[in-house]
Chain A
Amino acid sequence: AQSVTQPDIHITVSEGASLELRCNYSYGATPYLFWYVQSPGQGLQLLLKYFSGDTLVQGIKGFEAEFKRSQSSFNLRKPSVHWSDAAEYFCAVGAGSGGYQKVTFGIGTKLQVIP
């Protein structure tokens, strides 16, 4: 069964600083990997996804993530954080085929942005 580890429960960064959120996954085959963001009281918004091809994927809001098979990692990065990025970020791995996806989420990393 697949699993996801997000080792940082809470991260604080200064506005304008760079950000990296860590994610490690466990899955027997080539994974489908996702990052979702959840603002307080809101739903889960897809930031980006990796299925195959280029291991550096670009997402919305200036985020990117890099798939490293050798490290079983899919870390999320942003070069310059904005106050509006404060939210909870979930890494997830999907198992399925075609359109069907069963997604397993990590525990989430809560991002606080300070002035």
Chain B
Amino acid sequence: EPEVTQTPSHQVTQMGQEVILRCVPISNHLYFYWYRQILGQKVEFLVSFYNNEISEKSEIFDDQFSVERPDGSNFTLKIRSTKLEDSAMYFCASSETSGNTIYFGEGSWLTVV
């Protein structure tokens, strides 16, 4: 079964450093998303992306965050200058043009020290 893949599975970074989390969505999907889950808290929506632009973003997704689809397969989340509170599991997801279901990746666990 096709799946969303994410790299790295775990990254430790120092506060203030830039981080890029990578995702390969399911190949025929056109909507892409990032969610995050701070330890012990809800999974929260960050941003959605369609047709090479952000379609919706949450309050969490401030100027420190950006998303990009640099080629035909990857979808990336960049955190420009990480803060301690950015430590979380980040989930990439994708959905196709119909079917109303989004599929999540295994997550990238980011630890900011």
List A residues at the B interface (Cβ < 8 Å): 32, 34, 36, 42-46, 49, 51, 90, 92, 94, 96, 98-108
Contact = CB atoms under 8 A, between A and B. Distances in A.
B43 A105 contact: yes
A43 B91 contact: yes
Contact of A46 (B31, B33, B97, B103): B103
* 9 smallest beta-carbon distances between A and B, as pairs: A43-B106, A44-B104, A99-B97, A105-B43, A99-B95, A101-B102, A43-B107, A99-B96, A100-B31
Contact of B43 (A44, A101, A102): A44
Interface in B38-75: 41-45, 48, 50, 55-56
Contacts of A42: 106-107
Nearest to B9: A41
